Amino acid sequence: MSASSDCQLKKSLWQQLREDIASVFERDPAARTTFEVLTTYPGVHALIFHRISHRLWKRNWRYAARFLSFLGRLLSNVDIHPGATIGERFFIDHGAGVVIGETAVVGNDVTLYHGVTLGGTSWKKGKRHPTLSDGVMVGAGAKILGNITVGKHSRVGANSVVVENVPESCTVVGIPGKVVKLREAGELNPYGIDLDHHLIPDPVGKAISCLLSRIDILEAKLDRRSAEERYADCEVSNDVCEKDCPGGKVIREKEAVGS
């Protein structure tokens, strides 16, 4: 059993759920009341079902855990395997289409948006799903696949596909995901959480912009040189034409007579 899982089971279910609900108000400005969150947030519903089913899973009540997880998926459209280890204050915004595999490990204060997959890349037993460290934010539609680790406070851009480890405090975008910059935390909200998931650089666009700028510079340099300047260093020679071109000898004789 992992240290994170041990910490979960030491807390009462009620303590965990209170923290989960409180985290919604920290990360979603649309949340108004606890009653509203409890009754209308599918991400919270999925997490409640998971907190219970995970406890059953750890006590080897495997079928009961899987069946409860199945009911949670029917209600919330979020599929979290009861074997997955989920840290404190976990928040799934909107919820729809999120999939978290059996051996996935999610740290504390992690935020996922809709359509995220924490999936495996092997049929073998053992750890085959990703680990998200504390404070990670994953944008909508992103896929994180395999037994890899996303470092603390890193961000994964929307629709990215991540198949390699990600260092701490990085932004990852693209297919396959690439680290586009090391960064400090973005603008934190009053609760100390970075929600600037829309601040994603465009490395391809930047490369094209640099190429266009370079072309403009080269064209400007060429335009500043006249034709005479361009060919000033060339030495004119008619030897090749006189020897090899048809009629070259005749032309040379005529030039000699004229002189």
Sheet containing 155-156, strands listed edge to edge, beginning at the edge strand earlier in sequence: 91-93, 111-113, 137-138, 155-156, 170-173, 178-182
Q: Report d(CA 160, CA 105) in Å as an integer.
A: 19
Query: Is the backbone peptide bond immediately before 176 cis, with ω within 30 degrees of 0?
Result: yes
Domain ranges of the chain: 3-200, 207-258
Instruction: Indicate the class that CATH gives domain 3-200.
Output: mainly beta
Q: What would the mean pLDDT of 187-206 be, rounded to a whole number? A: 59
Residues 30 and 78: beta-carbon distance below 8 Å: no
Assessment of whether the complete model's pTM goes beyond 0.75: no
- How confident is the model at residue 185, as a pLDDT? 47
* pLDDT tens, residue by residue, 24-53: 888 888 888 889 888 888 889 999 999 999
| Residue in 160, 162, 115 with CA at minimum distance from that of residue 141 | 115
What does the pLDDT average to over 146-168? 90
**Phi and psi based region of residue 227 (left: phi greater than 0; alpha: psi -120 to 50; beta: remaining):** alpha
| Sign for the pseudo-dihedral over CA of 61, 62, 65, 71 | negative
Average pLDDT, integer, range 88-102? 90
